Structure 1
Amino acid sequence: MSEHLLISLGESLAPIALLIAFGYLWKLTAPGGLDALQARRAINLLVMYAFYPGLAYHVVSHARFGADFFWVPLYTWVGLLIAAALAWLVFARSGLFQQLARRQLGALIIACSFGNILSIGLSVLQPLYGDEAARFAVYADILGVSMLFWSFGAGLASAWGKVEGGGDGFSLATFLRSFSRLPPVWAFAAGFAVNLLGLPNPIVIDRTAELLGQAAVPAMLLTIGMSLSPAALRKRPGLLAVACLLKLVLMPALVAALCLPFLGRSELSVSIILLAGMPTMMATVMLSERYGLDTELLASVLVATTLLYFAVLPVWLWLLLG
Structure 2
Amino acid sequence: MSEHLLLTLGEGLAPVALLIALGYVWRLTAPGGLDALSARRAINMLVMYAFYPGLAYHVVSHARFGADFWWVPLYTWIGLLMAAGIAWLVFARSGLFPGLGRRQLGALILACSFGNILSIGLSVLQPLYGSGAARFAIYADILGIGILFWSLGAGLASAWGCNGDGTFRLSLFVRTFVRLPPVWAFAAGFTVNLLGLPNPAPIARTAELLGQAVVPAMLLTIGMSLSPAALRQRPGLLAMAGLLKLVVMPAIVAALCLPFLGRNEMTVSIVLLAGMPTMMATIMLSERFGLDTELLASVMVATTLLYFIVLPLWLWVLL
Task: Using structure 2 for the length normalisation, give the TM-score.
Answer: 0.99
Q: Does 1:181 align with 2:179?
A: yes
1:14 offset after TM fit, Å? 0.6
1:160 offset after TM fit, Å? 1.1
Q: Does 1:48 align with 2:30?
A: no
Q: Which runs of 4+ in 1 moved over 3 A?
A: none
Q: Which residue of 2 aligns with 1:226?
A: 224
Q: Which residue of 2 aligns with 1:20?
A: 20
CA distance in 2: counterparts of 1:3 and 1:135, whole angstroms? 26
Q: Which residue of 2 aligns with 1:83?
A: 83
CA distance in 2: counterparts of 1:33 and 1:181, whole angstroms? 33
Residues 192, 198 of structure 2: 8 Å contact kept: yes
CA offset digits 1:18-47 (Å, max 9, x no partner): 000000000100111111111111111111
Residues 112, 280 of structure 1: 8 Å contact kept: yes
Gaps of 5+ in 2: none
Q: Which structure 2 residues correspond to residues 66-215 of structure 1 after superposition, within 5 A?
A: 66-162=66-162, 167-215=165-213
CA distance in 2: counterparts of 1:244 and 1:73, whole angstroms? 23
Paired residue type of 1:160? W
CA distance in 2: counterparts of 1:124 and 1:100, whole angstroms? 34
1:168 offset after TM fit, Å? 2.9
Paired residue type of 1:49? Y
Question: Alignment partner of 2:24: what SS?
Answer: helix
Paired residue type of 1:145? I
CA distance in 2: counterparts of 1:42 and 1:235, whole angstroms? 29
Residues 283, 297 of structure 2: 8 Å contact kept: yes
Q: Does 1:272 align with 2:267?
A: no
CA distance in 2: counterparts of 1:117 and 1:109, whole angstroms? 17
Q: Does 1:284 align with 2:282?
A: yes
Paired residue type of 1:294? D
Question: Alignment partner of 1:265: what SS?
Answer: coil
Paired residue type of 1:241? A
Residues 120, 276 of structure 2: 8 Å contact kept: yes
Gaps of 5+ in 1: none
Q: Which residue of 2 aligns with 1:246?
A: 244
Percent identity between the aligned chains? 82
CA distance in 1: counterparts of 2:289 and 2:42, whole angstroms? 22
Q: Which residue of 1 aligns with 2:30?
A: 30
1:170 offset after TM fit, Å? 1.1
CA distance in 2: counterparts of 1:226 and 1:125, whole angstroms? 24
Q: Which residue of 1 aligns with 2:311?
A: 313
Paired residue type of 2:28? L
Residues 119, 217 of structure 1: 8 Å contact kept: yes
CA distance in 1: counterparts of 2:152 and 2:9, whole angstroms? 34
Residues 160, 166 of structure 2: 8 Å contact kept: no
Question: Alignment partner of 1:115: what SS?
Answer: coil
CA distance in 2: counterparts of 1:99 and 1:167, whole angstroms? 23
Residues 222, 280 of structure 2: 8 Å contact kept: yes
CA distance in 2: counterparts of 1:176 and 1:77, whole angstroms? 18
Q: Which residue of 1 aligns with 2:10?
A: 10
